[in-house]
Chains A and B, each alone.
Chain A
Amino acid sequence: MDKITVSKPKKFKRNLIVLTILFLIVGSAWFAGFNVIEVMINLNKGSRLLGRMFFPPDLSYLPNIVDPMIETIRMAIVGTFIGATLALPVAVLVANNFIKSKLLHGPLRIILNIFRTIPALVLASLFVAVFGTGPFSGVVALSIFTFGLVSKLTYETIEAIDYGQVEALMSLGANKMNILRYAIMPQILPQYMSYTLYGFEVNIRAAAVLGYVGAGGIGQTFEFNLAWRNFDRVGTIIIFSFFIVLIIDLISSSIRKRLV
């Protein structure tokens, strides 16, 4: 049988990409002052600290952090609720297949993108400056962040719906409100609820650190104990937060799986 020879695949482009990525990684590490020897030296310090935190943690402190934890969860719930509720009508306004006006969409989308891009922690420190310390500032920050996140995901979902169902409703004489109620909402509602739950998961994690800038919740307790070098208590807070976040994540993501 004849041997078949084919031309060799061109690898130059692939190699160039690999080299560029490698260069970027090494270059960034160098610029950031990251070096392995430093890590090795500090590993010792770090492990001592970890030892004081977790071997053993001060579990007797647990009752004292239940209330701040509940406050954290409450902040996440209220923030998610307000943000997601505001997000739905705005998502409808911004979707380009429901209202066809570039004049409306352009500015609104820029605002949404800004909200979504600013980390909740930055928003929180801003609102602490405006409203003072406490959970209220945290809730406002989480609301705005959730609003940006959920509205963006939702309007993209609205734009991807099956337009045939909208056309059918138009054909039988439905007005805009009826089209929204009977053709758009049934198609997007499960996704919207899923995004809201996802926002809640993100918010629980964000809410846990918001206290760091004085915006209430367990982060405030964390910061206080760290400042007093109560490392065994800090360990308890970390373990407790970890389990709460894990449980909420598991519940929420299992609901989300069933929704869509």
Chain B
Amino acid sequence: MIEFKNVSKTYDNGVKALKNINLAINEGEFVAIIGLSGAGKSTLLRLINKLIESTNGEVIFDGNSVTTATGRDLINIRRQIGMIFQGFNIVKRMSVLSNVLSGRVAYNPTWKTILGLFPEEDKQIAYRALKRVDILEKVHNRASDLSGGQQQRVAIARALAQEPKIMLADEPVASLDPITTVQVMDYLKKINVEDGITTIANLHHVDLALKYATRVVGIKEGKLVYDVQMADISKEKFYTDLELVYGRPIHRDEVLGDE
């Protein structure tokens, strides 16, 4: 579904964020990407929808090259890829509904979306998306009036409204409290399992990776250093393996616990 072929990224300031990444992600997987801050996790995610352009190599999405796509082709790729962010990035001065409907802009002619005219069909998609994350009752609220967890659910609904094939989540729970964290991760997992939407999430907490992911990919200093199917590995082995990603052993008391 997604394939990285010898992908490298060097930023203008000379930072080598990713070095020769080869990675193939299959349909329906829930992939957690782990690694220290600055290891290149965010860069990896943003290469998939070309929010960042690679320096070398090629990223393939569903048989099409993302790397060479521009204009209308790029928009066609992007609208199939939902993305949520650490800072939620919903438009706070708009209503929840407008935010979710904005997930449909790439499916409608620009003159209509500029005027805010969306077909009834799209509104139904938006309502269903909001219902999916149990926040339909806030549909007419201003987005800024919602709590952090609610805002992230609106962000998920916006991504769902795209009817995406894959969902990218860049530190989706890093600014949420532990309880809201579990809620948001549960929604992501539910969407992954029920709709078969391939999900790729950057996570800081290894125990979240352990609990939700079917596959864990580790990045260290821009290199892919770890890649494992969670079904093939014991919990104990996983914790010992983390040394490969973080550069030193992780003790059991350093993770959040298993509840």
Contact = CB atoms under 8 A, between A and B. Distances in A.
Given A177-B110, A178-B113, A181-B113, A171 B90 contact: no
Given A173-B162, A175-B75, A187-B93, A167 B82 contact: no
B113 A186 contact: no
Given A167-B51, A186-B91, A172 B159 contact: yes
Nearest to A188: B93
Contacts of B85: 164, 167-168
A214 to B, nearest CB: 43
A187 to B, nearest CB: 6
A194 to B, nearest CB: 14
Given A171-B51, A172-B158, A177-B110, A165 B78 contact: no
Nearest to B158: A172
A27 B78 CA distance: 65
Interface string A100-142: 0000000000000000000000000000000000000000000
B102 A172 contact: yes
Contacts of B87: 162, 164
Q: Interface range on chain B: under 10, 10 to 19, 20 to 34, or 35 or more?
A: 20 to 34
Interface in A160-207: 162, 164-165, 167-175, 177-178, 181-183, 186-187, 189-190
A181 B79 contact: no
B184 interface: no
B153 to A, nearest CB: 15
B112 to A, nearest CB: 11
B114 interface: yes
Interface residues of A, number: 21
Nearest to A180: B114
A182 B81 CA distance: 18
A162 B151 CA distance: 16
B51 A174 contact: no
Given A171-B78, A173-B106, A187 B162 contact: no
A175 B114 CA distance: 11
B104 to A, nearest CB: 9
Interface in A186-236: 186-187, 189-190
A215 B6 CA distance: 69
A171 B81 CA distance: 7
A175 B90 CA distance: 17
B106 A168 contact: no
Contact of B114 (A167, A169, A181, A187): A181
Contacts of A167: 51, 85, 89
Interface in B66-92: 75-79, 81-83, 85, 87, 89-92
B49 interface: yes
Nearest to B101: A182
A172 B105 contact: yes
Contacts of B218: none
B93 A186 contact: yes
B105 A173 contact: yes
Nearest to B162: A172
A174 B81 contact: no
B83 A165 contact: no
A168 B83 contact: yes
Contact of B110 (A171, A175, A183): A175
A169 B110 contact: no
A33 B20 CA distance: 74
B123 to A, nearest CB: 16
Given A165-B89, A171-B83, A186 B78 contact: no
Contacts of B162: 172-173
B40 interface: no
A183 B162 CA distance: 17
B215 to A, nearest CB: 23
Interface of A: 162, 164-165, 167-175, 177-178, 181-183, 186-187, 189-190
Given A171-B49, A172-B102, A187-B91, 17 more contacts: A168-B89, A168-B155, A170-B78, A171-B82, A172-B78, A172-B159, A173-B106, A173-B162, A174-B75, A175-B75, A178-B113, A178-B114, A182-B91, A182-B113, A186-B91, A186-B92, A187-B93
11 contacts: A162-B87, A168-B83, A170-B51, A171-B81, A172-B162, A173-B78, A173-B162, A177-B114, A178-B105, A178-B113, A182-B98
